[in-house]
Amino acid sequence: MAFEKFTTRPMMGRKELLKITLRKADHGWKLIVDGRLTGNLQF
């Protein structure tokens, strides 16, 4: 995962950062689950 992007960004509120992180984590889990369900899990 590319967390380097956060370091170049101007400081955000903790809530905003948490929202983004949760959104990314949620998206990642969906990709993993979808990959498992369809049987073509690729990284």
Tell me, what's the pLDDT at 13? 85
Tell me, what's the pLDDT at 35? 82
Q: How far is CA 34 from CA 22, 40, 42, in A?
A: 18, 9, 11
Tell me, what's the pLDDT at 25? 92
| Distance, CA of 19 to CA of 1 (rounded, Å) | 17
Q: For residue 41, give every residue at least 6 positions away whose Cβ sits within 8 Å of its Cβ, in sequence order, or none.
A: 32, 35
**Domain extent listing, the chain:** 11-36
Tell me, what's the pLDDT at 22? 93
* pLDDT tens-digit readout, 13-35: 888 889 999 999 999 888 888 88
